[in-house]
């Protein structure tokens, strides 16, 4: 019986179950060896545990209403796994979007650099012309449209 309670209330972790009951892990080990435990403490600390099951070992470990809630929680856990899968897929899509944004940012920087080089070339090659446009007060060069 004690092992079943440990499995249910602390996923098989004896130390966690001991902590829940405010006893030492050694006390839990002793209870297991002797197949005897503090019924009153367990009944007070373990929500939903059936008094009949604790006293006689008969029936369900949990009160029937609470057992249905546990089954419902199990189904909720399946839903949680489904949502985790969906979330992981969305995170993968986001990661790909961030990579694409980074790639495009790099492309923008390269184009800005190329534009800057071309602007400098035009300024050096054609005094009075900036980006193919004549600056105010400059004379018209017949070779430039």
Task: Concatenate the DSSP letters of all residues of 83-100 into one string.
Answer: HHHHHHHHHHHHHHHHHH
> Tokens representing 145?
């449209």
Residues facing 37 on adjacent strands = none
- pLDDT digit string (tens) for 23-81? 999 999 999 999 888 989 999 988 889 888 888 888 889 887 644 454 445 555 566 77
Measured CA angle at 73 (ends 72, 76), to 5 deg: 90
Predicted TM-score of the model (pTM): 0.44
Measured CA angle at 112 (ends 111, 118), to 5 deg: 90
């Amino acid at each position: 019986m004690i092992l079943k309670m440990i499995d249910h209330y602390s996923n098989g972790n004896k130390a966690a179950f001991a902590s829940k009951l405010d006893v030492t892990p050694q006390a839990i080990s002793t209870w297991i060896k002797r197949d005897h435990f503090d019924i009153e403490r367990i009944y007070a600390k373990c929500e939903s545990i059936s008094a009949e099951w604790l006293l006689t070992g008969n029936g369900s470990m949990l009160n029937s209403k609470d057992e249905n809630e546990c089954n419902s929680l199990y189904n909720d856990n399946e839903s949680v796994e489904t949502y985790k899968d969906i979330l992981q897929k969305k995170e993968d899509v986001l990661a790909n979007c961030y990579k694409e944004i980074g790639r495009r940012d790099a492309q923008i920087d390269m184009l800005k650099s190329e534009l800057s080089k071309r602007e400098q070339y035009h300024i050096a090659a054609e005094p009075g012309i900036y980006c193919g446009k004549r600056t105010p007060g400059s004379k018209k060069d017949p070779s430039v449209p």
